[in-house]
Every structure is written in structure tokens, then in C-alpha cells.
Amino acid sequence: LCPPPATSGSDEEDDSDSSTKPIRSEKKKNPASLFQTGGDPPKEKKTKKKAPSKAAESEEEALETPQKNSNKKGKGKKSKKPKEERPPSPIIEVDNLEEFVLRPAPQGVTIKCRVTRDKKGMDRGLYPTYYLHLDNDKKVFLLAGRKRKKSKTSNYLISIDPTDLSRGGENFIGKLRSNLMGTKFTVFDNGANPDRANADWSNVRQELSAVVYETNVLGFKGPRKMTVIIPGMNSDNERVPIRPRNDNDGLLMRWQNKNMDNVIELHNKAPVWNDETQSYVLNFHGRVTHASVKNFQIVHGSDPDYIVMQFGRVADDAFTMDYNYPLCAVQAFAIALSSFDGKLACE
């Protein structure tokens, strides 16, 4: 079944809203084992993921519908207590910001964040700044990102300071770089370019993730197809460092060449067509309230119930971004930034 045509072909935000009955998911296995690429499987107890709150379980969000509306037909069908607005994040301690944003989420804990887009100012319409905060009472700032000007390809700088988005600054923590087509992206940490490597290569930048967008028969109208490639985890549940010495050794090339040693492939969860709402829908457990082609959930093929990351719209310039083990904040934020990129958004 094809999705309905979008309402405005060139509009970056082709969004509307719809909801239906909830989907129940059951955990089958320890998620940590899905991401292990070296050493023995971890021996800790199994972590069962819980939905954010029972009250929020009954909301299923459309990706795209032909008319702008906000019917919440499935609201409250299973809730015994009053419906909560987007369940907030549990208390997360961010002692050292730089360390926190590069550290994988703890197993069994969903880190719930909010992305806001600032288009105000002289050139913010073309180069908005994106801010990532924890979605809790304290609204702790985590990261800021902005597209670099005068760059041949889309190039986003990611900083741990909301006011310093410079490449040379000490707050630079990572970057997202696209190919010329704007369909493949690579996420780097703040290490050195391989041209400036020291003797043992220990200072060379790591590749933290890569994202590939595929066009479907409808172009980028309708559900997008995303492949996310990340480094695997070792037996101590730490990220295996991937430090390519040249462009032929990065995550994208390894994936294209099917050389998947220490590399994990993830995909966005395919939305389901809903006849009642005439739209594609995904269950975001109340964390997403507006339909958008940008809404997505990233899962491992072996366990589609374990949501590695989800991202979706809650207002015109506000989005929720939740991530789980093994992702860190920089990986998740960069994957989210890739979904804003202009070439993808142009229908």
C-alpha cells in the first residue's frame, strides 16, 4: 500500500498526526548480546526494558497523513490512570559532560532527550542551531549542533557548549559529514584527521556511526529507509574503537564490502499502514505527538522490539530523542541531525 501524497511537495516539514491502538512487545533476550562483536557474551542478569509508563502505552503515531489533524483515537484505551504528557526521563547524573555524551547508555535505562531547533537570526533559516537537552525537570544541556557554512557537503559540528560551535574550540566533540548526494553520513568524534596522526595512531578520530538513506519507489515521500552502522561492543560492554586510516576503511566502506567484523548494522523499524487513519504508523509509547516523515525508530534485525533509538516531533521546532544501550548521546544526536538534512527533506 502506498502512502497518500504529501500536502506540499517542497515543504521541509510534511507533517500531520494520527493515532491508533497500542502494540504490545515482549522482551526475549538480553539486548547486550545483540551488539557484542568481541569476547564472551556478558554474564550480567537479563535487563527487561519497560515501557515509559502504562498510561503512555496507548499512543501510536502516524508518520505521514494527507490532512493536518490531531485525532488521538487510541488515547487511553488501556490506561487505568490519567494520561501523562510525554513520560520524562529518569534522573540521569551528568557529572562530566564530555564523558557522558560519549558513554553508551546504561543497560536497561532509556535516556530521554529533547531536540529543539532554533531558526531565529540572520542565517538561522538556512543554518539552524539544534540543541539537545535531557527531557526532565532540570532540562540539562547536553549538545548543540549546527551545519557549517562554505562546506561542499553537509557538515555539522557538534559541541558541548551551546554558544561555541567552532571547529577549533575546546568544546568541539564530534561532527557529522555527508556524501555529495546527501544520502550517506558519517559521524566522527573530535580526534585528529588521519593526515595528522601520531606514531601509534592513538590520536586519530574514531568513527562513531554511519547512516545510509535509501530512496523508495516514492522518492523520500512516505516512509524513509535508514540503515545505521555502528561499532560493536567488546566483552566489557565498551565500544570497539574504529579509527580508519583512510576513506576506504571507514564504517561505510566496511558495510558496503560486507566486512562486518566489529560492526553492527541496524535499521529503522518499518511502519505499518493503517486503513483507519490512512497513514503509516509506529508505536512511540506516547513520546511523539505529531506525525512527520522524520519520525523513526532504530532497531536490530534480531530483536525488533528493542528500540535502540527513537526520534519524533512534538511541536514545530521540538522533537523527542530517546536512546538506549549501546548508543551514546553524540551518536544518537548525530543520527537525528542527519534526518534534518536538506537533501532528504526536499520531497
Distances (CA, A) of 36 to 137, 211, 239: 34, 20, 9
Q: What is the pLDDT of residue 285?
A: 85
Nearest alpha carbon to residue 207 among 196, 191, 195: 191
Q: What is the pLDDT of residue 145?
A: 94
**pLDDT tens, per residue, the chain with 347 residues:** 232 322 223 333 444 333 333 444 444 567 778 888 764 443 443 444 433 333 333 334 444 433 333 333 333 333 344 444 555 555 677 778 999 999 999 999 999 999 999 987 656 567 889 999 999 888 899 999 998 887 778 889 999 998 888 777 789 999 999 998 888 999 999 998 888 888 888 889 999 999 999 866 555 555 678 999 999 999 888 999 999 988 788 999 999 999 988 999 999 998 888 888 877 788 898 889 888 878 899 999 999 999 999 999 999 899 999 999 999 999 999 999 998 876 554 33
**Separation between Cα atoms, residue 100 and residue 138, nearest integer Å:** 16
Taking the mean position of all CA atoms in its chain, how far away is CA 271? Answer: 16
**Separation between Cα atoms, residue 10 and residue 205, nearest integer Å:** 37
**What contacts 346, CB < 8 A, 6 or more positions away?**
10, 12, 220
Q: What is the pLDDT of residue 299?
A: 95
Q: Is the overall model pTM greater than 0.85, yes or no? A: no
Q: What is the pLDDT of residue 125?
A: 62
- Within a 13 Å sphere around the CA of 63, how many CA atoms are in the beta-carbon half? 27
Q: What is the pLDDT of residue 76?
A: 38
**Separation between Cα atoms, residue 160 and residue 172, nearest integer Å:** 7
Q: What is the pLDDT of residue 102?
A: 95
**Separation between Cα atoms, residue 344 and residue 183, nearest integer Å:** 7
In degrees to the nearest 10, what's the CA dihedral of 38, 43, 45, 48? Answer: 20
Q: What is the pLDDT of residue 33?
A: 81
CATH 3.40.630.40 fits 89-340, yes or no: no
Alpha helix ranges (H) inside 228-285:
251-256
